[in-house]
């Protein structure tokens, strides 16, 4: 019986050591298939969850506007959304670079919380390749948890933006003082949750509310700081449970020895 307890203790210790060691490894995530476009864990266009234990340093993938998506066959795939984990008070940075197929395409970055409420976004000027790349710098969330990071390939200003249930943009993409697009980084203008992607009414010149077909195609990498992959409670919980069983078995054995003495 003593050898069995020792074996359980040893196995638990080894697994806990492995779990601790894996938490220190940096994770680079590559898009699996086509990442969904919605800041949600359910539905045909649910966000793709990054997986692993440790710091998430980059996400890479493909924006392919002319492709056909199950959710919007007339539009295509110009948005990829990923679930990541952010810690309250930790500075978060996301910086986009093109890796291939760069034709001076424009990008936008959006960050949502677990309820689909907008947090911050960035869209830079697309006059030059250097200014067409988006970045969120030194942003801190107020609560730790799962967040959704969306990267969009912008066909035209306001053509495909996150809207609430009433069709209002979650972020101010149109500047009322200039009647042009907002550039730079800005917070959400409402606490209403995400409902769908669609046309910003300020840029709906056709009056149809239907986005124009997507046209941009490029490979991207989003370099991250202050982010982690989404935790896997089933795996982590199993390791901790085995370790706890080993610890309890050892304590029980010591108690019996003490009582017998």
Angle of helix 233-260 relative to helix 2-22, nearest 10 degrees, comes to 150
Look at 195 and 207; give whichever has higher pLDDT.
195
pLDDT exceeds 70 at position 47: yes
Domain boundaries, the chain: 27-231
Least confident of 7-11, 39-43, 74-78, 144-148: 7-11
Contact indicator for 162, 81 with CB cutoff of 8 Å: no
Look at 112 and 158; give whichever has higher pLDDT.
112
Read off φ and ψ for residue 104, nearest 5 degrees.
Answer: 75, 20
* Exposure string for 17-44, b = 16+ CB within 10 A, e = fewer: eebeeeeeeebebebeebbbbbbbeeee
Q: How confident is the model at residue 185 (pLDDT cuts 50, 70, 90)?
A: confident
What CATH class has 27-231?
mainly beta
Q: How confident is the model at residue 56 (pLDDT cuts 50, 70, 90)?
A: very high
pLDDT exceeds 60 at position 238: no
Look at 200 and 69; give whichever has higher pLDDT.
200
Tens-digit pLDDT profile for residues 195-205: 999 888 888 87
Tens-digit pLDDT profile for residues 145-166: 999 999 998 777 667 889 999 9
245: exposed, middle or buried (Cβ count in 10 Å: 0-12, 13-18, 19+): middle
pLDDT exceeds 50 at position 230: yes
Q: How confident is the model at residue 14 (pLDDT cuts 50, 70, 90)?
A: very low
For a pLDDT cut of 70, what percent of the chain falls above it?
66
178: exposed, middle or buried (Cβ count in 10 Å: 0-12, 13-18, 19+): exposed
């Amino acid at each position: 019986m003593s050898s069995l307890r020792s074996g359980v203790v040893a196995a638990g210790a080894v697994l806990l050591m492995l779990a601790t060691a894996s938490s220190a490894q940096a994770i680079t995530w590559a898009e699996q298939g086509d990442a969904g476009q919605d800041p949600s864990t359910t539905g045909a266009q649910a966000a793709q969850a990054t997986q692993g234990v440790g710091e998430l340093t980059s996400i890479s993938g493909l924006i392919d506007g002319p492709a056909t998506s199950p959710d919007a066959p007339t539009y295509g795939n110009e948005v990829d959304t990923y679930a990541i984990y952010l810690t309250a008070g930790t500075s978060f940075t996301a910086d986009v670079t093109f890796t291939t197929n760069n034709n001076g395409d424009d990008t936008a970055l959006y960050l949502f919380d677990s309820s689909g409420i907008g947090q911050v976004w960035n869209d830079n000027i697309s006059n030059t390749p250097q200014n067409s790349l988006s970045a969120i710098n030194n942003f801190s969330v107020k609560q730790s948890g799962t967040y959704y990071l969306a990267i969009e390939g912008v066909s035209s200003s306001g053509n495909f933006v996150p809207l609430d249930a009433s069709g209002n943009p979650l972020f101010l993409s149109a500047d009322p003082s200039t009647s042009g697009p907002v550039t730079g980084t800005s917070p959400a203008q409402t606490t209403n949750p995400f409902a769908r992607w669609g046309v910003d009414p300020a840029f709906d010149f056709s009056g149809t509310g239907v986005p124009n077909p997507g046209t941009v195609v490029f490979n991207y990498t989003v370099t991250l700081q202050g982010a982690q992959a989404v935790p896997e409670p089933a795996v982590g919980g199993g390791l901790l449970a085995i370790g706890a069983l080993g610890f309890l078995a050892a304590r029980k054995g010591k108690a019996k020895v003490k009582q017998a003495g």
